[in-house]
Amino acid sequence: MRALKEKGFSADKIVENGNKFLIGNGYLGYRGTLDEFTAKECVGLNIAGLYDGVKGKWRETVNAFNPFFCVISLCGVPLDVRRKETFSHEAELDLERGVFRRETKFLVGKAHITLFSERFVSAAEPDLLCSRIRLTSDMDATFSVKAGIDPEIWDLNGPHFSHVESACHGGRAEVKGETQELHIPVRVVCDFSEPLQNFQGGLGEFSVRLKAGETFTLDRVARVLVGKKHFSGRDYEGAYEAHVREWERLFLLARLDAKGDDRAQFALDYSIYHLLILAPKGRYSIAARGLSGQTYKGAVFWDTEIFLLPFYMEVLPACAKRLIEYRIDTLPAAREKAKSYGYGGAFYAWESQNGFDACSDFNVTDVFTHRPVRTYFKDKQIHISADVAYAILRYFERTKDDDLMLEGGLETILSCAEFARTYSYYNHIKGRYELLDVIGPDEYHERVNNNAYTNYMFYFTAKEGLALAEEFAKKYPARFKEVLCHLPEGILQNLKEWTEKLYLLKPNAEGVIEQFDGYFRLEDVRVEEVRSRLRHPNEYWGGSGGVATATRVIKQADLITLFNLYPDRFSEEVRRANYDFYLPYTEHGSSLSRCSYAIAACGIGRREEAYTALLESAEIDLRGGGKQWAGEIYIGGTHPAASGGAWIAATRGLGFERKGDLK
């Protein structure tokens, strides 16, 4: 069995393990916490695509009430992993079946007690999650059990529910509430295999008499019902079988063969596990921290298009289509955003919540003054629109789905290009269009001019968009005319002229392309030197006063990402020169960075370097740790883009192939 196992318990690892042992099905994510834990230990049942904002706080995804809370006590001693009565503990994430298990042994008085529980979020039914507890004792004993649906929710910017009510009839309990902002009803209904008594505030109790050696089993079958959905009961065994059947199918379908390399095999299995638990079930997309919580407001970033989409295109094309449709569906919001800044076309949300830009003007808090710092990610990270267009282009290249292109795809691509055109400035002296005042992928250098990644990406967007427009005009003249109706007059001609004059930064004598105008003039120091200048471990490196701002040190792969997306447009010599130049300046302060260098290293024949970077990326959530704070803002959680990027490097660069029948 391929499983992640961890023996022993450490209170310091509660949050980390919540991420590491996460289970999910693309719609719901349940953190890898324990039955006896509560909101204090960051128990989280995260719902994809459901957002709520509480006045004065950030809008974020909603966590549901917790149906798996359960504390069992003997003689007043709770079987809680943190108590001194615990003498062994093991947690396990079964990657092949998508099941989390824990087994904890306690010694209470003279009784040896084993508490086992397993849980899964159904791969077969999006709103279903189930758990089974088994309790044994080597002495006759009477246990008291407190179980139910815990209405206390771990929120970063909550509480998100008002009108919370609970009810229970025999073994069926329910807690319901309404989201504060949009008044969306959310109910968690759970069938307990044992009737709950003295039910109050979501929780009830009962007692269990066990004879020595006997096992008591408590099954919990729950659904998270958003809107007006109905509850339908399900037996645990049946739900388990259906889940495992579907999960095994998915896992076998997706697995890669790491050619006998156990470490790489496990790291990739684990990454693929995380990609599978995020595969969307509806027309929503994947949040940057997946379903591990509300970090980054549960919003969708460019991570999805650039780092995740390739996996889904290859393994689960229907999911890839949903990711694309999500962007097409949110085109009106992107147009609105462009308009609000005075531009044409489509400017996608930097942090998209169903199209709405959740990125705040002050995305970082200064650790010294505790004052919010003005950041310009939302306003200036315009490359997001090129990333969206790129994803649609690649999706079309692979699927040749003409209908999708005619029903929004092409319009989106051209609107993204049009946005950049209207954003650009014509430099009369130099006779070229420039993209001024932007932020590239490297967020430490804000408001720079002509970020090479951004300029090239929009150039390719426009070029490829125009070529497709030509193709579709010939193939489907009538339908293409309809597409044009939704676009500004003269767009094709305007874009054509624009691409001819858009400034594209060229390699210097050493083959290096300057990341943006003036980058080479910045202080030439390496990452370690800049790190040594920090006065606080959580200090933000970028922004106006950051330690990296006036230096060449960059947060993450910037230009290198461009080469990964368009390798054939740059010679190997140029790609190598830039790789060698930028790597020592890269802090890898984003989980998107290592995998980008892994992919790039593959492309220049540096297999060993690629392999090391691939493992660093694929093992990011196994290792835990990582950056948990940006200034005073919590940014912990899982790192789907690192898993997706590792998958790209493994398949496209290192040649690991999919083997549907791996044992």
Query: Where along the sequence are the contacts to ligand BGC (CB under 6 A)?
Result: 288, 296, 301-303, 441, 443, 555-556, 590, 592, 641
CA neighbor of 503 nearest in space, from 452, 575, 579, 554: 452
The least distance separating ligand BGC from the CB of residue 385, rounded to whole angstroms, comes to 14
CA 292 remoteness from chain centre: 8
Shorter beta-carbon distance to ligand BGC: residue 296 or 656: 296
The least distance separating ligand BGC from the CB of residue 246, rounded to whole angstroms, comes to 29
Other CB atoms closer than 10 Å to residue 538's CB: what's the count?
A: 14
3-state SS class at 274 = helix
Q: How far is CA 615 from CA 65, 257, 268, 533, 659, in A?
A: 36, 15, 8, 29, 20
The least distance separating ligand BGC from the CB of residue 541, rounded to whole angstroms, comes to 11
- Is 500 an active-site residue? no
The least distance separating ligand BGC from the CB of residue 599, rounded to whole angstroms, comes to 15
The least distance separating ligand BGC from the CB of residue 22, rounded to whole angstroms, comes to 16
Omega prior to 159 cis, within 30 of 0: yes
Shorter beta-carbon distance to ligand BGC: residue 353 or 590: 590
Alpha helices in 502-592 (DSSP H): 527-532, 559-565, 572-582
The least distance separating ligand BGC from the CB of residue 423, rounded to whole angstroms, comes to 20
Annotated catalytic residue: which of 443, 464, 514, 539? 443
Q: Rounded to 5 degrees, what angle do the CA atoms 93, 97, 98 make?
A: 55
CA neighbor of 144 nearest in space, from 95, 87, 92, 72: 72
The least distance separating ligand BGC from the CB of residue 292, rounded to whole angstroms, comes to 12
Beta strands in 291-359 (DSSP E): 352-353, 356-357
Q: How far is CA 68 from CA 65, 191, 218, 321, in A?
A: 9, 11, 11, 33
Strands 185-192, 172-179: pairing kind: antiparallel
Shorter beta-carbon distance to ligand BGC: residue 577 or 592: 592
Shorter beta-carbon distance to ligand BGC: residue 92 or 443: 443
3-state SS class at 292 = coil
**DSSP β-bridge partners for residue 74:** 77, 143
Cα separation, 451 vs 459, in Å, equals: 12
- In total, the chain counts a number of residues equal to 663
- DSSP states along 405-443: IIIIIHHHHHHHHHHHHHH-EEETTTTEEE--SB--S-T
**Sign for the pseudo-dihedral over CA of 566, 569, 572, 573:** negative
The least distance separating ligand BGC from the CB of residue 533, rounded to whole angstroms, comes to 20
The least distance separating ligand BGC from the CB of residue 484, rounded to whole angstroms, comes to 33
Yes or no: say if 574 and 513 are a contact pair by the CB < 8 Å rule: yes
Shorter beta-carbon distance to ligand BGC: residue 321 or 639: 639
Shorter beta-carbon distance to ligand BGC: residue 347 or 498: 347
Alpha helices in 502-639 (DSSP H): 527-532, 559-565, 572-582, 593-603, 607-618, 620-623
Shorter beta-carbon distance to ligand BGC: residue 410 or 641: 641
Shorter beta-carbon distance to ligand BGC: residue 97 or 297: 297
Q: Residues near 521 by Cβ (< 8 Å), separated by ≥ 6? A: none
Shorter beta-carbon distance to ligand BGC: residue 189 or 641: 641
| Tokens 């460019």 sit on residue | 302
Other CB atoms closer than 10 Å to residue 136's CB: what's the count?
A: 16
The catalytic residues are 443
